[in-house]
Chain A
Amino acid sequence: MLSRRLLLPLVLLSLTVAVSACGSSNNSSSGSSTTSTATTAASCSKADLALVRSGTLSVGTDKPGYPPYIVDDKPTNGKGFESAVSYAIAKQLGFTKDQVTWVVVPFNSSYAPGPKKFDFDINQISISPARARAVDFSAPYYTAPQAVLALKGTPAAAATDVAGLKDAKIGVQIGTTSLKAVTDTIQPSKQPSVFNDSNDTVRALKNKTVDAIVVDVPTAVYLRDFEVKKSVVTGTFGGAGTPWGVVLGKGSKLTACVDQAISKLQASGELAAITKQWMGPYTKAPQLG
């Protein structure tokens, strides 16, 4: 009896929801195209910038941050590649060092819809067309290939080509492009393990729960030198890798300005100098055939 009395309202409920969901499907695409054209026209002088908090440039990154990107987990110190790049971009936009505010932005919330708490977010995020539907990306500031890190004496450490890694249990961090590189290029016979953060990924390697982990080259070399005893960087694979960009809100008025700043840094050689200073020691690795 109760269920029959509930039936009619429930049917109507599903109908209203279905109708309203279908009805609004058309106007969503037209809305996004108008905002993207407006961004290019904006002026990039500091006074005209639309900022999350007025007078200060809010830069997001995840916590903890790891070398060589962030040193001592303090992005404010200007040390580390991504901290240095951020301050260089800020300087181009007209901000002094103390006019930059760092905010903690976990990777998974960097692409959440709604108002952002950062003006731009820098967190080794790879640019891809699918992702660009949800956020704006700046021009790339770095590109790194993927590399395999394995414990000494294991079959994965001795591999000289991608085929030698086929039977390895591989660990990767979620949200990185490493997983795609693994499934596309190595095509392992065992399902890769996917961990929440780089701490867990490294822990799994130390625990021998996985035979090898796949990270970008600078991270692999850093881990080998400072974190994981008796480990080797087996080599890089999968080509040059995907370029990284800073993330901005979809349709952000700042995107064009950050692009401009990055291209100026490229033209002046400053970006190359920063890259050499912080990433230089961490990019040498053999290439897997």
Chain B
Amino acid sequence: MTDAVTDIASDRRAARAAARRSRERRGALIAAVSTVVVLGLLTLLITQSSGWPTVRETFFSWQAFKTSFPDILRGFWLDVKLFVSVEAVVLVAGLGIALCRITTAPALFPVRLLAVVFTDLLRGIPTILIVYLVGFGIPALQISGLPNDPIILGGLALAMSYSAYVAEVYRSGIESVHPSQRSASLALGLSSAQALRFVILPQAVRRVAPPLLNDFIALQKDVALVSILGPLEAFRVAQIYAAENFNYTPLLAAALLYVAVTIPLARLVDRMQRGSRPPVSGVVR
């Protein structure tokens, strides 16, 4: 009797599993077929258009790609160095500005005011304009001792713009930590500064890690803006090749390089976001 029941149960389980497998197979097959059909139609539409041979020659020329790629890659190395160092500055400066903004002491009102003005102004001005104004404006002052190197000036401009964004990200993180955390820390005998350093900031920074990385991705692309000041970074090198041969393929090569860095970063953000879902309140981890 019991044997028969288990048999029926395992039979049913097997049947269910088989049904699920076949459903999944069918799903994958349908997805594959529809992908091929849609993309096939799209490629057909594009390649059959009358302008395609020209577009193919001007945007997808293997010859142009091959000749320009090594130089663009060398230019991209400058981008990598620049965005890593700017990001380091931004993470520190952004936190500093956020901390200025959350102060409450009346005497520190001017500091708060400055922080608000800084974030509002720098988030309000297009990044390319900041790069332009800093890059051509500061050397025009002709004050000896001020930096004159376009790479440093461009990096400074980017750091200014991105610190403003990152400061707001930090601030939202800090404000998301429940006030009871601070009260509890003070009750335990921690000073205000200690509570901030050991209780609030660790939680805040962990919560905003994904949006911080998001800004990092944006910064990684925006380093190309420094090209307007003259340095030979990837985008500029690509533009030079494009203008020399009247062929846009090198720009595509540069785009590939940026994407090669941003896509892995984006996947990393996805993974972090999955891992950092807020815990159910009251549960100690």
Contact = CB atoms under 8 A, between A and B. Distances in A.
The binding surface of chain B is classed by DSSP as helix
B239 interface: yes
In the complex, which range does the number of interface residues on chain B fall in?
Answer: 35 or more
Given A27-B53, A107-B243, A113-B54, A193 B35 contact: no
Contacts of B36: 9, 12-13, 16
Interface in B138-190: 139-140, 142, 148, 150
B32 A28 contact: no
Interface stretch (B83-91, B96-104, B107-115, B225-233): B225-233
Contacts of A194: 227, 230, 232, 236, 239-240
Contacts of B119: none
A157 interface: no
Nearest to A171: B230
A170 to B, nearest CB: 10
Contact of B51 (A111, A113, A195): A113
A20 B47 contact: yes
Contacts of B245: 128, 130-131, 133-134
B255 interface: no
Interface in A176-221: 179-180, 191-196, 200, 203-204, 206-210
B202 interface: no
Interface in A34-53: none
In the complex, which range does the number of interface residues on chain A fall in?
Answer: 35 or more
Contacts, number: 133
B136 A114 contact: no
Nearest to A114: B51
A208 B142 contact: yes
B114 to A, nearest CB: 28
B242 to A, nearest CB: 8
Contacts of B39: 12-13, 16-17
B173 to A, nearest CB: 29
Contact of A174 (B32, B57, B236): B236
26 contacts: A21-B56, A23-B47, A24-B52, A108-B242, A111-B58, A112-B58, A114-B55, A130-B244, A133-B246, A133-B247, A134-B57, A134-B246, A174-B236, A174-B240, A175-B243, A191-B232, A193-B150, A193-B232, A194-B239, A203-B136, A203-B140, A207-B140, A207-B142, A208-B148, A209-B139, A209-B229
Q: What 7 pairs across the A-B complex have the smallest Cβ distances?
A: A193-B230, A175-B243, A134-B246, A207-B139, A28-B53, A9-B35, A111-B246
Interface of B: 24, 27-28, 31-32, 35-36, 39-40, 43-44, 47, 51-60, 136, 139-140, 142, 148, 150, 227-232, 236, 239-240, 242-248
